[in-house]
A and B are shown apart, each in its own frame.
Chain A
Amino acid sequence: MKREAISGLLARRHFLRKLGAAAVAAGTAASLAKVGAKTESVTPPKSFPTADYDWTKHRWAFGVDATKCIGCLRCVEACKVENKVPLTAHHFRTWVERYVYLEGEARPRIDSHADPVNIAASGSQREYRFANRYQNAKVEKAFFVPKLCNQCEHPPCVQVCPVGATYKAKDGVVLIDHEYCIGCRYCVQACPYGARFFDEEKGVSDKCTWCYHRITSGLQPACVDACPVGARVFGDLNDKQSAISLFVRNNRVHVLKPETGNGPNVFYVGIDKEVS
């Protein structure tokens, strides 16, 4: 009888010990899950980032009509000011490329406003201008191509971030948590479009967010607002009558480097085979 009681006691102790271990394990798992939440995109609160914005209700996209762009570079200037982008020729959230085919040449000559010749013409890295460097040449074809982050469907920059500091928001925009970025620059390497740069002063990566602070407040991105010819189109694909929905529906659009499988969300009209 006594032996039975003792073995019962031991069994109970054994069970309690197991229970305790399970509780500790569950607690650890719960705290890990809490910390681990950062590895996924930010947990969607009801409204983000402003009280009256619901990121599950939008699917933002961007269109570029290269046939309209005149290379005035107001977009670049507006972006630099709006987003406090470092005022150097090596940091851009958006830029404009110029493609010029000269008579007798098989390949285009390509430059951007960041080219030393163009900077020399403007006189400063803070002034944006395309020098009239082909005025004495016979130009067969020439056009401008605005570039910016493609907010890819399958962003390689998000894939490679070792800490989950960069993530794709529910509305399609790829964002960076500057308070969490460790500054390893793997994302800069992974972006095939050269859309990301490293902000040396802040020690973090940065890129275009389609002016997330503006679009979540019902405004257009600064570059779209600044464009005098409507070469940049922005809107919500969920709204069938939005400017971007009409742009994508009414044009045969291209994306850059489709072979990467990234699924870019900037749609181009009027670009040439040499544009990548």
Chain B
Amino acid sequence: MEPLIHYAPYAGWVYPNETVIEWSVAIVVYPYITGLVAGAFTVSSLYQVFGFERLKPVAHLALLTSLCFMLFVPLPLLLHLGHPERAFNNLLTPHWTSAMAAFGYFATFYIVLLIVETWFAFRPYIVAQAQKRKGPLGAFYRVLTLGSYDVSEGALRVDRKWIFWLAIAGIPGAHGLHGYVGFVFGSLKSREWWSSDLMPLVFLFSAIISGVALLIVLYVLSCKLRRVPIDLACVKGLAYTVWAFIIVAFVLEGLEFANIVYKAREGIEMIMAYVTGPLLIPYFVLQFGIGAIVPLAWLSYMIWRGTAGRALVLGVTLSACLVLLSVFMMRWNVVIGGQEISKTGKGLLEYPMQIFGKEGLISALALVVAPLVVLLGITRLLPPWEHKTAS
């Protein structure tokens, strides 16, 4: 049986109660998948609201991806709670001074919005299947129609209007959901590594790049699996999007770090010892170097040279994989990094990641993979590559 406490080895002076790192890899995964939700929704909105026609082939995939990841957002939190059965206290009696209090409402609102938007987006397909299919699957689609079989041009116009307004409402919803995650950390004055006004923005922009990067990977992978040609204009559109947002995310993250170093408040010596020591590889090499600078340079080169064809797809997909790694490392470096620097400013801890257990590595991996499995299932029922949809 797993021991109840996993205490963290430390060097220097740390408060005795700090020697258990309370927010584990599950809390790293939580903002990661929330970010993927927000980022994927951004792609969907770029098409639905801002009319980026190039992104049409991935618009519905983006919506489904957002929905699938959103379904799993509460899970790492539930795994983490000491009393998960009391989780609904958060909805019943929110304590409004807490940055966490609004989570339940935000998440519920956003899940409902995603479900409704998905329903409108896939309604013509659902109706067609309900009329065509027999047996349990036919019944399933008939239930999904909610009794509405009208797919006339007038009805579809109404659907498109709904999708447009839901997407508009979803933009602040998705970005608010994720910006607030940044606020959960940034608003704490107990840790210098977290306490930053830029934190919500840093979270938000890294979320956007992670979502776009995920869609690049999923789109290319889905085309390969379905053996259909990849829409190069779409890949290019996604590459431009991720390229532009990487610059913003990179500047914001750089500014945040520069602020900490330049202000040099109490405990800065320990922070510097940390970032140049244990955090050197996760922070400078993985998050900034390999995860941000390499894809930025690679994408810039491809845009400059006008790379096309296979090389473009390969370059953009690999860059997207690196961006996904970078954003995961950013979450890790914030959540775990913040706790590895002692509140005393005079010591460093070392997070002892567990392999098994509800907050271990295997659970964390499962939490990231599970939405993809659900996505695979949902794309069988509601294929996002069918263009005969409402929009």
Chain A residues engaging chain B, CB cutoff 8 angstroms: 35-36, 38-39, 88-92, 95, 110-112, 114, 147, 156, 158-165, 180-186, 188-198, 200-205, 260-261, 276
In the complex, how many residues of chain B place their beta carbon closer than 8 angstroms to a beta carbon of chain A?
Answer: 45
- Chain B residues with Cβ below 8 Å from A185 are 22-23, 80, 82
Q: Does B140 contact A (CB under 8 A)?
A: no
A195 touching B19, Cβ below 8 Å: no
Q: Which residues of B contact A (CB under 8 A)?
A: 4-5, 7, 13-20, 22-23, 77, 80-84, 86-87, 89-90, 92-101, 103, 184, 188-191, 266, 339, 343-346
Contact of B16 among A90, A186, A200, A261 (CB under 8 A): A90
Max chain B Cβ within 10 angstroms of own Cβ: one of A35, A203, A205:
A203
Whether B190 and A181, one on each chain, are in contact in the complex, defined by CB atoms closer than 8 angstroms, is no
Pick the most buried of A147, A184, A193: most chain B CB atoms within 10 A of its CB: A184
With A36-B93, A160-B100: A90-B5 Cβ-Cβ less than 8 Å:
yes
A163 touches B190 (CB 8 A): no
| A89-B22 contact given A182-B81, A182-B86, CB 8 Å threshold | no
Q: State the Cβ distance, A255 to closest chain B Cβ, in Å.
A: 15
Q: For A189, give its contact among B7, B19, B86, B188 (CB under 8 Å).
A: B188
> A residues within 8 A CB of B345?
276
Can you list 8 A-B pairs with a CB-CB distance of less than 8 A? A112-B15, A156-B189, A162-B98, A189-B190, A189-B191, A189-B339, A204-B83, A276-B345
Bound CA span A165–B346, Å: 31
* Contact indicator A162/B100 (Cβ below 8 Å): yes
Q: How far is the CB of B381 from chain A (nearest CB, A)?
A: 35
Which of A95, A110, A160, A197 sits near B99, CB closer than 8 Å? A160
Cα distance A260–B184 when bound, in Å? 17
Contact assessment for B13 and A159 in the assembled complex, using a CB-CB cutoff below 8 Å: no
Closest Cβ neighbor of B267 among chain A residues: A276
Complex CA–CA separation, A39 to B93 (angstroms)? 6
Once the chains are docked, how many angstroms separate the CA of A200 from the CA of B22? 10
Residue ID in chain A nearest B95 by CB atoms:
A164
Q: Which residue of B lies closest to A192 (CB)?
A: B190
* Chain B proximity of A122: nearest CB distance (Å): 14
User: Which of B82, B90, B92 sits near A198, CB closer than 8 Å?
Assistant: B82
**8 interchain residue pairs of minimum CB distance:** A183-B82, A194-B15, A203-B82, A164-B95, A114-B16, A162-B100, A192-B190, A110-B13
Partner pick for A89 among B16, B23, B190, CB 8 A cutoff: B16
Q: Are A159 and B17 within 8 A (Cβ)?
A: no
What residues of A have a CB within 8 angstroms of the CB of B83 in the complex?
181-183, 203-204
* A88-B5 contact in complex given A162-B101, A182-B83, C-beta closer than 8 Å: yes
Min CB–CB distance B305 → chain A (angstroms) = 47
Taking a contact as CB atoms under 8 Å apart, the answer to whether A197 and B190 are in contact is no
Contact A194 B18, CB 8 Å, known A160-B100, A181-B83: yes
Whether the pair B98, A260 counts as a contact (CB closer than 8 A) is no
Q: Is the CB of A90 within 8 A of B7?
A: yes
Q: How far is the CA of A163 from the CA of B96 in the complex (A)?
A: 8
Q: Which residues of B contact A111 (CB under 8 A)?
A: 13
Q: Which of A91, A158, A182 contacts B90 (CB 8 A)?
A: A182
Whether A164 pairs with B93 at a CB distance below 8 angstroms is yes
Q: Is the CB of A186 within 8 A of B98?
A: yes
Q: Min CB distance, A110 to chain B, in Å?
A: 4
Nearest to B338 among chain A residues (CB) is A189
